[in-house]
């Protein structure tokens, strides 16, 4: 028997968490009051999109399988055109961070409701943060308009996610929890969600490696991602996410894998400025040195820990640091050129 099933209202969203809950998507859409739903996903999720279109029946306005990583501005323009053409009043976003990012970019510009159906553990469905890549730069922003009105968490939809992608996605969620822990003036509820999410994610990673098809492990992974997303939605992003967006938007690195590679280095960078967060991370890992513990965990799980293996070279370090220093952000420690160069060089494996 699964341990978590709940329905709640959070930050203006109706959240339904239960295995099989997506089978009643039509009733949930009716409850929301939407009548023309555009299904948004990546090209490889066409079959799943067709299944949801069948479930929605006459409520479907069309399908848009064009989502791409880092949300290129060209896909946003196409999605805006299709939203206008179909007169959609809601977007059902099926997939991970790329699909949701596209849906959010449209919602920032059009009066549509977002319905999020996560198939990964990215967790951004619980935040008001979105980003678009234009001219080699990924710019992020916050807006209440981009918060989904309905989130359907169905662990069964994540069982087919390959193990490497699952672990990478969980590192993305882990980064959400970590950044919430050191956010200035984070409220107790955000901190509790971050701590619980952190523990849940760290506990489930070895379980997923041991049994990737376990629905119980998949449920726990999705729960951890939800909690981490709640925490980030109540706080915000700092060096970890700004660096991940920079490396993705400007240098073409994959988002989730980049989080996994840089997280130990960012945690070490902020160690002296965020001692409470470091103690919490170390406790969850069962170690005394949080950055070393994160690095060791990645190695045990077989996750790539070198940016150089993802396509980032030492030759790019200075350009990346220049861009980073030009990016306003909240971070426990002041951004320092020499220290940032050392961070990136270390993350490269050099």
CATH number at residue 307: 1.20.1090.10
Distance CA 147, CA 114 (A): 7
* Same-domain check for residues 18 and 104: yes
- Residue 328's pLDDT band, with cuts at 50, 70 and 90, is confident
Write the CATH number for 135.
Answer: 3.40.50.1970
pLDDT at 138: 86
pLDDT at 58: 97
User: What domain range is 21 assigned to?
Assistant: 6-158
Tell whether 1 is covered by a domain.
Answer: no
pLDDT at 3: 64
pLDDT at 101 over 90: yes
Domains in the chain, number: 2
* Same-domain check for residues 28 and 103: yes
More confident residue, 299 or 3: 299
pLDDT tens-digit map of 275-286: 999 999 999 999
Quick one: 271 exposed, middle or buried, by C-beta within 10 A (0-12, 13-18, 19+)?
middle
* Same-domain check for residues 285 and 338: yes
* Same-domain check for residues 205 and 147: no
* Same-domain check for residues 110 and 178: no
pLDDT at 4: 74
pLDDT at 1 over 50: no
User: What are residue 216's phi and psi, to 5 degrees?
Assistant: -65, -45
Q: Name the domain boundary from 137, 158, 179.
A: 158
* Same-domain check for residues 186 and 236: yes
User: Contact 195/284 with Cβ under 8 angstroms?
Assistant: yes
pLDDT tens-digit map of 238-287: 999 999 999 998 999 998 899 999 999 999 999 999 999 999 999 999 99
> What global pTM score does this model have?
0.95
Residues 6+ apart with CB under 8 A from 308: 314, 348, 349, 350
pLDDT at 135: 87
* Same-domain check for residues 117 and 233: no
User: What are residue 211's phi and psi, to 5 degrees?
Assistant: -145, 80
List the beta bridge partners of residue 178: none
pLDDT at 15 over 60: yes
* Same-domain check for residues 337 and 231: yes
pLDDT at 326: 92
């Amino acid at each position: 028997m699964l341990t978590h099933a709940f329905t709640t209202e959070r930050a203006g969203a109706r959240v339904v968490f239960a295995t099989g809950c997506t089978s009643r998507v039509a009733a949930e859409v009716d409850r929301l009051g939407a009548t023309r739903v555009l299904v948004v996903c990546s090209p490889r999720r066409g079959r799943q999109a067709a299944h949801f279109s069948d479930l929605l029946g006459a409520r479907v306005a069309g399908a848009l399988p064009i989502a791409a990583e880092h949300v290129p501005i060209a896909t946003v323009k196409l999605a805006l055109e299709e939203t206008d053409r179909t007169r959609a009043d809601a977007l059902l976003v099926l997939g991970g961070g790329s699909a949701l990012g596209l849906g959010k970019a449209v919602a920032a510009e059009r009066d549509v409701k977002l319905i999020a159906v996560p198939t990964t553990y990215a967790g951004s469905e619980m935040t008001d943060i979105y980003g678009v890549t234009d001219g080699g730069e990924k710019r992020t922003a916050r807006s209440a308009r981009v918060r989904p009105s309905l989130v359907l968490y169905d662990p069964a939809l994540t069982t087919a996610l390959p193990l490497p992608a699952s672990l990478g996605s969980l590192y993305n969620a882990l980064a959400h929890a970590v950044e919430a822990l050191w956010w200035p003036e984070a409220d107790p509820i955000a901190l509790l969600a971050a701590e619980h999410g952190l523990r849940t994610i760290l506990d489930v990673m070895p379980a997923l490696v041991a049994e990737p098809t376990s629905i119980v492990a998949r449920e726990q992974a999705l729960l951890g991602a939800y909690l981490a997303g709640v925490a980030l939605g109540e706080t915000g992003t700092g060096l970890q996410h700004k660096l991940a967006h920079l490396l993705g938007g400007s240098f073409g690195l994959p988002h989730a894998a980049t989080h996994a590679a840089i997280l130990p280095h960012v945690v070490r960078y902020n160690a002296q400025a965020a001692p409470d967060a470091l103690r919490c991370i170390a406790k969850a890992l069962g170690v005394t040195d949080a950055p070393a513990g994160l690095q060791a965990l990645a190695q045990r799980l077989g996750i790539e820990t070198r940016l150089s293996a993802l396509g980032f070279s030492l030759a790019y370090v200075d350009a990346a640091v220049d861009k980073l220093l030009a990016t306003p952000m909240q971070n426990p420690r002041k951004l320092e050129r020499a220290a940032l160069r050392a961070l990136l060089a270390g993350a490269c494996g050099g």
